[in-house]
Amino acid sequence: MPDAPIAYVLKRFPRFSETFILNELLAHEAAGAKTRVYSLLAPPEEPRHARLADLKAEVMILKEHGSGADGVVQSADAALFSGKSPQEIGALQRKAAAIAADARTRGISHLHAHFGSDTTTVACLAARAIGGTYSFTAHAKDIYHTYVSPEADAEMRRVKLREAAFVATVSDYNARHLSDLCPEARITRLYNGIDLAAFQPVDQATQQQGQLIAVGRMVAKKGFDVLLDACALLKARNVPVSMSLVGSGPLGETLRAKRAALGLEHVVSMDGPLPQEALIQKMGTAQAAVLPCVVTESGDRDGLPTVLLEAMARGLPVVTTTVSGGPEIVRDGLTGRLCAPGDATSLADALEDVLAVPDRARLMGQAGRRWAEELFDLTTNAGRLRKLIRDPARATQEAA
């Protein structure tokens, strides 16, 4: 009997900023697995990555299941639905029921969600309905951000962690946090995988002296406001520097205004979001990649930004902060530089150090590529996840 499809529960699919999910699904299919995607909401109107056309997965969009009667919560599940209105609860319950009905027809007994938020709640409810199991990959906002209150959020997360067959997470930092939150949870650290064949080391001939690249959504936790201050410091020091800021988000206009106020229009280009193919090409001109992550007032922070792994795969030195998983991937002075979060002077010093000696920067990049080959290979890491999904009991042995 053929294996059932590997089933993912996602908030919106496809989503331009979540290439790691698309790549993971493609890796499963490349290994011969069928895939099925349940998308709680319709995908946003935004560009699409070219590789989406290669995905064979059938996608069931559950937007039409959002309206209906209010939900009823058993007392045992009060924590699971903390902060949700009766209307929101009803929508989640209906979507879970729709997934369960579809999963039964396809022989699906295990559901995997990305992010420990509504997607995991729905996966949990659907798994109960089919008498199956669920798991989820924990990332960043879903495990650090305060939604209701620190106490209520912690209890909600503990419910999901306890009941999950296993929980994958993208850094050792996250794994420690989740284990402290729920010691009985089955946690395995599993880095996001990078397609090393697509992200080849840059050609030295295309690199431009002083060129930096920074990629991410324009939200507070990325620290792009600090990065602009650091670029102003480098300009004042007469350090030759130019930077491509790739991405979009709610802070876009604020950052553009700050760029103008600092007189950086000719130093920093704001290039908007780019499909993966164009991003790979743009990385080819850079001398280094930078992402100065910070912790926000709500506690939100990055877990382990995929773009830093991609930059290392391209053989670029990486400059980031000591937030979350940064020290796991950046060996200070060997694969890049670490600096204090929220400190523009520290960031400017680290960037100047990397840019000052191109030969040393290339050695850092080469070391980063070796590190990427060892830890971040998409085929290897997706394979590990696939084995856990096929045999959730394996998580006991795989747990970090």
The DSSP annotation for 313-359 comes to HTT--EEEESSTTHHHH--BTTTEEEE-TT-HHHHHHHHHHHHH-HH
For residue 394, name the pLDDT band (cuts at 50, 70, 90): low
DSSP state of 212: E
Q: Decide if pLDDT at 400 tops 50.
A: no
User: Per the structure block, which two tokens stand in for 185?
Assistant: 């949870």
CA dist., res. 326 & res. 329, Å (int) = 6
Q: Decide if pLDDT at 267 tops 50.
A: yes
Domain span(s) for CATH 3.40.50.2000 in the chain: 6-193+377-398, 204-375
Taking residue 276's Cβ as centre, other Cβ atoms within 10 Å add up to 19
For residue 395, name the pLDDT band (cuts at 50, 70, 90): low
For residue 304, name the pLDDT band (cuts at 50, 70, 90): confident
**Chain centroid offset of residue 169 CA:** 10
Exposed / middle / buried, residue 53 (Cβ in 10 Å: 0-12, 13-18, 19+): exposed
Structure confidence at residue 373 (pLDDT): 97
For residue 296, name the pLDDT band (cuts at 50, 70, 90): very high
Q: What is the CA radius of gyration of the chain?
A: 21
Is 364 in contact with 336 (CB distance < 8 Å)?
Answer: yes
CATH architecture of the domain 204-375 equals 3-Layer(aba) Sandwich (3.40)
- Quick one: average pLDDT of 354-375? 95
What backbone phi and psi angles, to 5 degrees, belong to 133? -135, 165
Instruction: Tell me the torsion sign for CA atoms 252, 256, 262, 266.
Output: positive
CA dist., res. 208 & res. 376, Å (int) = 26
- Quick one: average pLDDT of 234-259? 97
CA dist., res. 400 & res. 396, Å (int) = 9
Residue with tokens 């053929």: 2
How does pLDDT run across 17-62, given as a tens digit for each residue?
Answer: 899 999 999 999 999 999 999 999 999 888 888 999 999 999 999 9
CA dist., res. 250 & res. 234, Å (int) = 26
Peptide bond into 14 cis (omega under 30): yes
What backbone phi and psi angles, to 5 degrees, belong to 136? -155, 155
Structure confidence at residue 47 (pLDDT): 84
User: Per the structure block, which two tokens stand in for 314?
Assistant: 């391209």
CA dist., res. 105 & res. 21, Å (int) = 25
DSSP state of 214: E
Instruction: Give pairs for 232-236: CB < 8 Å, separation 24+.
Output: 232/262, 232/263, 232/264, 232/344, 233/344, 233/345, 233/348, 234/348, 234/351, 234/352, 235/263, 235/264, 235/267
Give the percent of the chain with pLDDT over 70: 98
Q: Which class is 6-193+377-398 in CATH?
A: alpha beta
pTM score: 0.91
